[in-house]
């Protein structure tokens, strides 16, 4: 599983160094390729191939007759790109995804259990600062909801 926050940079060619700990997890899980796509809140989601297949299965089950399901699947899957870590531990992120996430150079790489999120450093700062004060109340609500 992926945990932690890491500050990194995107180089001029759109390559991002994946944190060493995350690369270790890829190796432990025999994940040679990963998938990056549009995430929520203007970040990017990065999944191992195994987790990507689980996501794909779940979203394929949504009824294509529902407009919301069609829209979501189109945006989510059309944005997906297969990526492979090179010998230096870098992945190449397509420009259209960098544009979507408003990523120029500085990024935050955030482990969120089964996925990695890639944020513009500024967008992550905005999200974190606007959300941290509600952390405890969110925990209370979500954990209470889970008990029911």
Cβ atoms of 110 and 19 closer than 8 Å: no
pLDDT surpasses 60 at 148 = no
Task: For residue range 15-67, list pLDDT tens digits in order.
Answer: 999 999 999 988 888 778 999 999 999 999 999 999 999 999 999 898 989 99
Assign 41 to helix, strand or coil. Answer: coil
CATH superfamily for 2-121 is Transcriptional regulator MraZ domain (3.40.1550.20)
Selection from 52, 1, 115, 117 nearest residue 60 by Cα: 52
70: which residues sit within 8 A by CB, 6+ positions away?
A: 64
Is residue 89 classed as helix, strand or coil in its secondary structure? coil
> Is this prediction's pTM over 0.85?
yes
């Amino acid at each position: 599983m992926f945990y932690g926050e890491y500050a990194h940079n995107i180089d001029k060619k759109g390559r991002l160094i994946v944190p060493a700990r995350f690369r270790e997890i890829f190796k432990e899980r025999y994940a040679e390729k990963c998938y990056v796509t549009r995430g929520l809140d203007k970040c990017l989601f990065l999944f191992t191939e195994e987790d990507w297949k689980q996501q794909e299965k779940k979203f394929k089950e949504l009824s294509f007759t529902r407009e919301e399901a069609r829209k979501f699947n189109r945006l989510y899957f059309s944005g997906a790109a297969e990526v492979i870590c090179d010998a230096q531990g870098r992945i190449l992120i397509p420009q259209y995804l960098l544009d979507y996430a408003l990523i120029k150079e500085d990024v935050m790489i955030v482990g969120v259990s089964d996925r990695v999120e890639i944020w513009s450093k500024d967008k992550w700062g905005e999200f974190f600062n606007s959300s941290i004060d509600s952390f405890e109340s969110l925990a209370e609500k979500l954990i209470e909801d889970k008990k029911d």
